[in-house]
Amino acid sequence: MTSVILVDDQDLVRAGLRTLLTRDESIKVVAEATDGRRGLEAARKYQPDVVLMDLRMPVMDGIEATRAICADEQLADTNVVVLTTFDDDADIIEAIRAGAIGYLLKNTPRDELRDAVNRAGRGERLLSPLITERLMEMVAVGQAAASPDPRLAYLSTRELEVLARIGHGDTNDEIAALLHLSPATARTYVSRILTKLGARDRPELVVIAHRSGLVVP
């Protein structure tokens, strides 16, 4: 059973999401909140598998709430999925940097949304197809002007290859298969890269890889 909290300032949106999600017997909506601060409080109280987070809300917006949830050690097993009508470049990057495991648009088909919630509950990262296209466009447009992060000088050639695969969204097992490493070695490389770059988490590595031009569309 995937437990979910809905955080959105629009009553009709929350009601619609609750109806849509609970048609799947494997999903249980345990709480709702009308702003980011109440969403954070609800997350700490119920410790759900997934928080579906809107972006534009009063009191505390979705980015700030996502950052607070992802920084809370007691919520280490709670994954935030942004669900919004906005596909603004800055919003996408900031949501990823804040720690969101997924970024979906509210026009996501019903079956896909239910599936996405269950996948997020298992810790899988996900993006709406439209958001994936948007990210690819952002990388393509910015490729020529990409400026490598100076911290990349501390990485070995192999570590740069691993970082590039992280930027593509590959899991540790996928990286191991693609680069002919053992899963344990792949995990070690990821851990070293986090330490050398002083990065907070894997989403931050994704941002670094994209901004440095390591990810080629």
CATH code for the part of the protein at 143-211? 1.10.10.10
Confidence band of 143 (pLDDT split at 50, 70, 90): very low
Express each pLDDT in 162-175 by its tens digit. 998 998 888 999 99
Confidence band of 138 (pLDDT split at 50, 70, 90): low
Quote the pLDDT of residue 144: 43
DSSP codes of every residue in the chain:
-EEEEEE-S-HHHHHHHHHHHTTSTTEEEEEEESSHHHHHHHHHHH--SEEEE-SS-SSS-HHHHHHHHHH-GGGTT-EEEEEES---HHHHHHHHHHT-SEEEETTS-HHHHHHHHHHHHTT--EE-HHHHHHHHHHHHHHTTT----GGGGGS-HHHHHHHHHHHTT--HHHHHHHTT--HHHHHHHHHHHHHHHT-SSHHHHHHHHHHTT----
Express each pLDDT in 88-105 by its tens digit. 666 777 887 788 888 888
Structure tokens at 163: 């970082």
Quote the pLDDT of residue 145: 46
Quote the pLDDT of residue 207: 84
Q: Give the chain's length.
A: 217
Quote the pLDDT of residue 204: 85
Quote the pLDDT of residue 201: 83
**Is 0.75 surpassed by the pTM of this model?**
no
| Lowest mean per-residue pLDDT among 104-113, 122-131, 143-152 | 143-152
Class of domain 2-131: alpha beta
Intervals of CATH 1.10.10.10 along the chain: 143-211
